[in-house]
Structure 1
Amino acid sequence: MHSFWIIFKQAFMTKAKTKSFIITTVIVAAAFFLMANLPNIIEAFQGSEEEENVLHVMDESGDLTEALQQQLQAAGSDMQAMPTDLTEEELKEGITDGSIEAYLVLEQNEQLSARYVSESANEMNSGADIEQAVQSLQTALTAETMGLDAAEVSQLFQPAAFEREAVSESSKSQEELSQARGLVYILIMLIYIAVIYYPNMIAMEVANEKSSRVMEILISSVSPVKHMFAKIAGIGTLGILQMLVFGLSGYVAIKTAGTDLSEGAFSVFGFSDVKISTFLFAVLFFLLGYFLYAVLAALLGSLVSRTEDVQQLMLPMMFLIIIASFIAFSGIGVPEAGFVTVSSFIPFFAPLVMFLRVGMLDIPLWEPLLSIAIMLATIGILGWFGARVYRGGVLMYGSSQSLKDIRKAIRLGENK
């Protein structure tokens, strides 16, 4: 057992001290703080917005600008509509030299018409707010012409009460889905990255030891099977530590940000009232997914003698992960679909797809437990088979770019 912990420590420390691991960890952690403070950074670069929020209005009647400002305020816009005495040519010159952001021309004949002029057609946000305010102003003017008071107009445009109700017992309410969707999406991304990055790290480490002939020294004092599982455990522990650093960085970044991240783009990621079981299943499927693909990666890594051959031999495993991610991400919108349900019990897809169903649906407990049992059985079988391949694979040298070498590795391991 002492030799197991020596290899475990060596695998952990060797990768933890690499520049690529340290730089990746620092960059990702810094990215969380950058994203959390992005609104403040944008605001700092934009400088004062007072002039940007002024909308110059050409209004011949002189009565429409004030009414437009009321509609803008009612819509929650911070745009300030102000009448102007400048000619249209002077306003266009102001846009060209940057002193004016945009202007609006209002005319009222039989109906209200408006023309919004800005430097670029890409300025969609402010233009959309103004268009909505002009439309509301047109409605108010029409209602006034028809003799309708404010209460009658409000009643006319009051939206109908509309609720969504699902018959399926496993379906959650719309509010619950909104709260779970963001967390499920992020955790699926983490599991996806983990089962690609860390098993690939194991395969590269094994191939590197073989190419440098260090493997010959190691297996003279430690059994290949113990060496394989020590590598898997060491790099797996490093992966868990890195994920904890990412999670802690993200949490601290959100809590210390000077902006309200519950609004805007972050409103899609609803983290409130998420069940503890969702987090527990995330950790469980993360570990199971890692060990499943890590054993497969160690098996494949033992077949090659050069690190250049690793990626080619790892392609079948990569395809499995990519297919699982496609199913999971497409299933976020339709978690009750038949193809999602079936694939959640396939061991190589289950870490992503079954977790998706656990997070998005109220499924019976036996379903994730059955999926976990299938994964554990698969890990056991793959571990037994992988150990047989690994025992002979680490002794194979020369060009190896085919899965046919698995049979050769098994025979070599049995004769050892």
Structure 2
Amino acid sequence: MNKFWIVFSQTYFSKLKSKPFISTIIISIILIAVMVNLPKITSYFNKNHVEKVAVIDHTHQLFRPLNLQIKKVNKDIKLTPFEKGEAQAKKAVKDGKYKGYLILDKTSEGLPKASYYAMKLSDETVSDQIKQSLQQIKSMMATEQLGLNSQKLAKISAPVDFHKQSLDKGAKTEKEIDQARVLVYILVLLIYMMVVGYGSMIAQEIASEKSSRVMELIVSSVSPGIHMISKVVALALLGLTQYVIFFLTGILAIKLSGSDINEYLHQNIGLNHIPFATLIFAVIFFLLGYFLYATMFAVIGSLVNRLEEVGQAIMPVTMLIMIGFFLAIYGCMGNPESTLVTVTSYIPFFTPMMMFLRVGILSVPFWEWGSGILIMIVSIALLIWIGTRVYKGGVLMYQSSSVFKAMKSALKITKES
């Protein structure tokens, strides 16, 4: 046990103090702060930046209502009457005096139509705002032509009175489900990133030690099984450390932002009352998923002779994680109660994401998520049992072959030793 803690502490603290880890944390904190405060940053750079548009009004009626409508929706767009003709308007746009120019006219039915010209059409903000404002004017003019007053129009456009309610008293409300979808999506993404990132890190570290022959010195004093498990546990704690830092940074940044996003997240995601059980399940399934895949990555790393071969060797395992991630996104955005989601939540390779998806969004009975956790524990124990035997022979084997052939050779070496 003492040797386990020696390898564990050396791996954990060396990675924790490493420049890549510290720089990743610092960059991530900066990115989180920027993302949370993006509306404020954008508004700061756009402050006092007015987009001028020259307007040629052939109707002599549409400019005034359009200008009033634009001022209501976007004060950064300034419409200016232009009487010098289209040729001069085009020249003024090319000279940079205007963002673009707009020609207002009417259809044969007396409804507004327009043409907008600009040097580049990639920025659709101005044109979209003008189009929406003209749509409002067109709707008002059309209702007047049809003899409809504002009360009749409001009655037609009013949404249907439609109410949804679950007959199951334990089921979540529609708002709770919408909040859970966003939260689960974020946490599933974190689980995916952490498992892929730290799992591949294990494979690379073991392959590096093996290729440099350092592994031969290590296994002479520490059993290969203890060496593998200690590295898996150490990097699990490192991943969980990063997980907690990201989560606390995000919460703190949102609470201190004082921006509209703070209110939006409180109202739509329920940031002020995130279910504690959801966070506990996130940690549980993150650890279970990590241990399952990290053991597989560690075994593959022990079978690789060169560091350059790691990426290709771990590709099948990475593909499994990606399939689980995309299935989880499908269930999160689609139907979390579908047969596909239910069945895959009991397949060990997909359980961490799929079962977490279900417990996060639905009211899943104890025996279902309990069965998922039990399946994961049994699968991890079986994988560690097999993995340590492969690992023991793999770290001492340097012949080049495919992963499956190398696995058979490693098991043979373990039996003979």
What is the TM-score of this pair, normalised by structure 1?
0.88
Name the residue aligned to 1:392. 393
Q: Distance in 1 between matches of 2:243 and 2:135?
A: 49
Name the residue aligned to 2:287. 287
Q: Distance in 1 between matches of 2:374 and 2:67?
A: 63
Which stretch of structure 1 is more off in the superposition, 111-120 or 365-374? 111-120
Q: Does 1:358 align with 2:356?
A: no
Check the 8 A contact 2:328/2:357 in 1, yes or no.
yes
Name the residue aligned to 1:243. 243
Check the 8 A contact 1:299/1:390 in 2, yes or no.
yes
State the Cα distance separating 1:270 from its structure 2 match.
6.3
State the Cα distance separating 1:94 from its structure 2 match.
2.5
Residues 88 and 270 (structure 1 numbering): CA distance in 2 closer, same or farther, change over 3 Å?
farther
Check the 8 A contact 1:178/1:270 in 2, yes or no.
no
Name the residue aligned to 2:412. 411
Which stretch of structure 1 is more off in the superposition, 82-91 or 275-284? 82-91
Name the residue aligned to 2:88. 90
State the Cα distance separating 1:377 from its structure 2 match.
0.6
The code of the aligned residue for 2:310 comes to: V
Map Cα deviations across residues 238-264 of structure 1 (whole Å, 9 max, x no partner).
111122222233233333336322589
Check the 8 A contact 1:312/1:401 in 2, yes or no.
no
- The 5 A counterparts of 1:15-414 are 15-49=15-49, 51-52=50-51, 54-59=52-57, 62-72=60-70, 76-78=73-75, 79-108=77-106, 110-119=109-118, 120-163=120-163, 172-257=172-257, 259-261=259-261, 271=271, 273-332=273-332, 333-414=334-415
Which stretch of structure 1 is more off in the superposition, 325-334 or 20-29? 20-29
Secondary structure of the equivalent of 2:114?
strand
Q: Distance in 2 between matches of 1:130 and 1:328?
A: 40
Q: Distance in 1 between matches of 2:114 and 2:201?
A: 59
Q: Distance in 1 between matches of 2:345 and 2:384?
A: 21
Check the 8 A contact 1:170/1:361 in 2, yes or no.
no
The code of the aligned residue for 1:175 comes to: K
Q: Distance in 1 between matches of 2:180 and 2:277?
A: 12
Q: Distance in 2 between matches of 1:170 and 1:325?
A: 28
State the Cα distance separating 1:371 from its structure 2 match.
0.5
Q: Distance in 2 between matches of 1:167 and 1:80?
A: 53
Which stretch of structure 1 is more off in the superposition, 4-13 or 28-37? 28-37
State the Cα distance separating 1:379 from its structure 2 match.
0.7
Residues 343 and 66 (structure 1 numbering): CA distance in 2 closer, same or farther, change over 3 Å?
same
Which stretch of structure 1 is more off in the superposition, 289-298 or 79-88? 79-88
Q: How many residues align?
A: 413
State the Cα distance separating 1:93 from its structure 2 match.
2.4
The code of the aligned residue for 1:254 comes to: I
Which stretch of structure 1 is more off in the superposition, 4-13 or 239-248? 239-248
Map Cα deviations across residues 250-300 of structure 1 (whole Å, 9 max, x no partner).
233333336322589999866464422111111110010011111112222
State the Cα distance separating 1:311 from its structure 2 match.
2.5
Check the 8 A contact 1:106/1:112 in 2, yes or no.
no
Q: Distance in 2 between matches of 1:30 and 1:329?
A: 27
State the Cα distance separating 1:163 from its structure 2 match.
4.3
State the Cα distance separating 1:169 from its structure 2 match.
8.7
State the Cα distance separating 1:170 from its structure 2 match.
8.9
Map Cα deviations across residues 173-198 of structure 1 (whole Å, 9 max, x no partner).
44233212221111111111111111
Residues 305 and 174 (structure 1 numbering): CA distance in 2 closer, same or farther, change over 3 Å?
same
Check the 8 A contact 2:285/2:356 in 1, yes or no.
yes
The code of the aligned residue for 1:346 comes to: I
Q: Distance in 1 between matches of 2:170 and 2:336?
A: 10
For structure 2, the residue ranges without an aligned partner over 5 or more in a row are none
Tell me how large the CA RMSD over aligned residues is. 2.9
State the Cα distance separating 1:17 from its structure 2 match.
3.7
Q: Distance in 1 between matches of 2:263 and 2:98?
A: 29
Check the 8 A contact 2:254/2:262 in 1, yes or no.
no
Q: Distance in 2 between matches of 1:159 and 1:372?
A: 44
The code of the aligned residue for 1:201 comes to: M
Q: Distance in 1 between matches of 2:86 and 2:163?
A: 48
Check the 8 A contact 2:82/2:89 in 1, yes or no.
no
Q: Distance in 1 between matches of 2:268 and 2:414?
A: 53
State the Cα distance separating 1:301 from its structure 2 match.
1.7
Secondary structure of the equivalent of 2:261?
coil
Q: Distance in 1 between matches of 2:274 and 2:370?
A: 20
Q: Distance in 1 between matches of 2:398 and 2:96?
A: 68
